[in-house]
Structure 1
Amino acid sequence: MNNKIHDFIAVGIGPFNLSLAALTDRIDDLDALFFDETHRMQWHPGMLIEGTDLQVPFMADLVTFADPTSPYSFLNYLHKQGRMYPFFFFQKLEVPRPEYNDYLQWVADQLKALHFGCRVIDVVDVEYEGERCYKVVVLDKEKDETHFYYAKHVVLGTGSKPLVFENVKDLPNEDVVHTSRYLYEKDHLLKSNHITVIGSGQSAAEIVTDLLHEQQEHDFYITWFTRSAGIFQLDTAKLPQEFFSPDYVNYFQSLSYEQRMNTLPKLHTLQNGVDPSTLSEIYDLLYQRTVGGKGKRVTIQPITEVKEIQRNSNHEYSLTCHQWQKDETFTYDTEKVVLATGYKPNIPDWFMDRFEHEVIWESEKHFKVSKDCQIAFKDERKNEIFTTTNISHAHGTGANNLGLSVNRNVKMINYMSGRPIYEEGHDTIFQQFRMTDEG
């Protein structure tokens, strides 16, 4: 704890705020602190399945799009680990997920501004030493002590939390498992006779793939339900990828709220599809299993929404399912369930308690966010609350894109510094989305 007013305090240390920390580490006149309640940097540890890769190239690391010379780049990580040649011979642009997590931990271990095991429990708009600022109340979980810090700005990077059916919260965690805990509960799942996966995205497909590999040894049945019209591949073509660019974010920001919300579903395959290589692997495994008339021991059914999960008299689980195209409802029994049902924004209680009635809301769920990631307040203020949480309605399908996170951080850094420390991305693509004076 100290009495100085920091330039900003960041709440949460995921890849987005870790990027912000790495980019500000070498800026002498920008003073910041970062707090996270977990005890170490961990990126989706429950889904670090061996053989899985990021869905973006290695250049989408924490710093490269802003500063390719940074010591915190992925290439420098490889150099320091003695892995430059192995990665070169790996011949892939995508980084294995376990290695990406190791890279994040390598960067985090070098940054002194990061404080783990510290939970931000309140942020108050105050006047301190004659200056308007935010008082940030932090609980040191290890020492069970509360400390106060002051900052001109706050950066909200609390990420997301698992989205699950309301009634499953009372069911055993080892039986009904969200993907965020898959590896923690995997051994228990493999001891069962029937595992049902619910969901249609990349995480669901990766778990089905992993279970197919394990099925040979453990001999369980696999069911895969998804409410989507089909299990479709991610659009990885080059021109569509330009929607993950600063230029498109700027265009998306220019649309009205209604136009933005109508646009998002049309970009679904850019974000929520399954990597083509994963779908190919699943099909190849299924094909090989059926050689010689063998049963595939797998049921895959799209167009089916699971409405409810209940424990039955056999101490297993009954799923109430609705095939929405035929408007047919049926009950399906399984022993274990994996929920690949995604995530929802993790907005801290203190934010709603303190600022719910002071910010501008575009809808019941979405506060207004500028292109520089500032939350819009009803009053004019110099002390901003920036956010990388709950911004898909404002920044489009690239809200969770690792490469674009660097550009968002660049905008925040330049704003808080009052000068252009890093160049902001523009004219980065070949498409345009409206006719300009030049076009």
Structure 2
Amino acid sequence: MMNFTHYDDTIPLDLAGLGSGPFNLSLAALLESLPELQVRFFDKKPSFGWHPGLMLPGAHMQTSCLKDLVTAVQPTSRWSFLSFLVEKERFYSFLSTEKMVISRTEFVEYMSWVAENLESLQFGSEIREVSFEKDSFILHTENEKVKAHNLCLGTGKVPYVPDCARAMVGQHCFHASELMTRQPELRNRKVAIIGGGQTGAEVFLNCLREKWGKADQIQWISRRASFEPLDESPFTNEYFTPDYVSRFLSLPEEKKETIVQYQKLASDGITPAYLLEIYRELYDRTYLYQDQINWKLLPDRTLKAMSESSGGFYDLKLTNALSAEDEILSADIVILCTGFQNVLPPYLEPIQPRLNLDEYHRFKLSSSFAVDWEGPDNRRIYAVNAGLHSHGIAEPQLSLTAWRSATIINDLAQREIFSVNQPVSLIDW
């Protein structure tokens, strides 16, 4: 943890960041070039970490390494991925790999390097609650109270667990976000993997390769009609541009949900190369090695109910959309690759009555990611990774991280610090 000798605690912060995940880390990195602003980012973790339970062998990013924390708006920043490569003396070796999409391990190493060198980050400081008194927000930690004129909420999403599985969560039924920290014993067990996205694919292949012991059976279940690829074609990638976001923002609210749903595979499919790797693995095991692991691929199934049998098994009731019939399968271990969801952080409870939420209890966000709330116009609450419903499919992804941070900084400073008006798309939306 850095020393904060430069911080004057008698003066309210211009911006307090809650959480130091990738999105707020990007904001902190860009704000370093504005020393006239007093900023601090608080995180309860002892050091930087990004979903450590999902750091599976072979896991890769789904976006270019140039879509890092800063490059899109400040390519000369010392906090770019290229600067990281140079400082770590691996620039030329990296070029020889001829890759633009890097492993998740290397991207976390890059972000940790940034976090370790930014003085505005304060780890080991959990914000218990946020109140508003007179003209300032008051952040309450275990040991101090901090005043701030503006906030940026970046404490992230929480694992989503289907309703029918909540009562089962425990030692043998758990969310995939805990997988690498749990290191479960799967030897001679029947395993059910719920979820057909990238995480489900990574868990399935690692189970198949006996990462946690040789399972007796591996069942991969997905609601999708098949195990579907990420759509990363050039014109689909235009969804992940500032121009498209500006067009999306102007749409009627009732249209946005429909559009986000049909664009789902632009952000939530499985990397095509990874699908090919799985298929080749299954081919070799089936025709060449006669592998003894019993595996089942079960797409087009929706988990409807789950119960624990007297023998210690979990009974899963599935509905097969293709046959319109119900199916029952059993498992010793259930791994939920069911994604994450937004919830209002508990620390906002004191000011929650001031927040103007929509009918689904979500933030109403301005084009500059400011939350609609009952407070002074010159006091803002920004939120990152909370605007899928308002800003579109790119919002939860890393693709526009630097652009969003620059947009927030410009709004905070009330002047253009960074150029965010990128050239219009090749597509006339």
In which range does the TM-score fall when normalised by the shorter chain?
over 0.9
**Structure 2 unmatched runs, 5+:** 1-7
- The corresponding residue for 2:74 is 67
CA distance in 2, matches of 1:76, 1:136: 34
Letter matched to residue 391 of structure 1: G
Larger relative strand fraction: 1
* Alignment counterpart, residue 138 of structure 1, candidates 127, 138, 141: 141
Letter matched to residue 140 of structure 2: V
Is contact 1:179-1:338 (8 Å) kept?
Answer: yes
CA distance in 2, matches of 1:152, 1:382: 8
Matches within 5 A, 1:340-379: 340-351=337-348, 353-378=349-374
Q: How many residues align?
A: 421
String of CA shifts for 1:293-352, please: whole Å, max 9, x gaps. Answer: 93662111111111233221111211122223433223211111110001011421232x
Q: Does 1:220 align with 2:223?
A: no
- The corresponding residue for 1:142 is none
Q: Does 1:11 align with 2:7?
A: no
Is contact 2:51-2:177 (8 Å) kept?
Answer: yes
CA distance in 1, matches of 2:113, 2:375: 41
String of CA shifts for 1:237-270, please: whole Å, max 9, x gaps. Answer: 1111010011111111101211111211111110
* Alignment counterpart, residue 148 of structure 1, candidates 145, 150, 174: 145
- The corresponding residue for 2:131 is 124
CA distance in 2, matches of 1:149, 1:16: 22
CA distance in 2, matches of 1:95, 1:400: 19
Matches within 5 A, 1:186-205: 186=183, 188-205=184-201
CA distance in 1, matches of 2:59, 2:38: 37
Q: Does 1:181 align with 2:188?
A: no
- SS of 1:243's partner is helix
- SS of 1:356's partner is helix
- SS of 2:400's partner is helix
CA distance in 2, matches of 1:363, 1:380: 24
Report the CA distance between 1:403 and its aligned residue. 2.6
Matches within 5 A, 1:313-392: 313-351=310-348, 353-378=349-374, 381-392=377-388
CA distance 1:366–1:222, change in 2 (3 Å) = same
CA distance in 1, matches of 2:159, 2:278: 25
- SS of 1:247's partner is helix
Matched-pair identity in %: 28
RMSD: 1.9
CA distance in 2, matches of 1:196, 1:149: 46
Is contact 1:373-1:386 (8 Å) kept?
Answer: yes
- SS of 1:307's partner is strand
Larger displacement relative to structure 2 (408-417 or 209-218): 209-218
CA distance 1:217–1:180, change in 2 (3 Å) = closer
Report the CA distance between 1:400 and its aligned residue. 1.5
* Alignment counterpart, residue 96 of structure 1, candidates 76, 91, 103: 103
* Alignment counterpart, residue 398 of structure 1, candidates 370, 373, 394: 394
CA distance in 2, matches of 1:355, 1:392: 23
CA distance 1:58–1:32, change in 2 (3 Å) = same
Is contact 2:68-2:401 (8 Å) kept?
Answer: no
Is contact 1:165-1:308 (8 Å) kept?
Answer: no
Q: Does 1:239 align with 2:242?
A: no
String of CA shifts for 1:18-75, please: whole Å, max 9, x gaps. Answer: 0000101121111101001111110111111222211001101111111111111111
CA distance in 2, matches of 1:389, 1:218: 37
Letter matched to residue 427 of structure 2: Q
* Alignment counterpart, residue 291 of structure 1, candidates 284, 287, 291: 287
- The corresponding residue for 1:300 is 297
**Structure 1 unmatched runs, 5+:** 140-144, 434-439
* Alignment counterpart, residue 42 of structure 1, candidates 46, 49, 72: 49
- SS of 1:205's partner is helix
Is contact 1:305-1:321 (8 Å) kept?
Answer: yes
CA distance in 1, matches of 2:299, 2:171: 25
CA distance in 2, matches of 1:113, 1:31: 9
Larger displacement relative to structure 2 (63-72 or 176-185): 176-185
Q: Does 1:30 align with 2:40?
A: no
- The corresponding residue for 2:423 is 427
CA distance 1:241–1:124, change in 2 (3 Å) = same
CA distance in 2, matches of 1:343, 1:320: 22
Report the CA distance between 1:430 and its aligned residue. 0.6
Letter matched to residue 108 of structure 1: A
CA distance 1:360–1:393, change in 2 (3 Å) = same
Larger displacement relative to structure 2 (49-58 or 293-302): 293-302
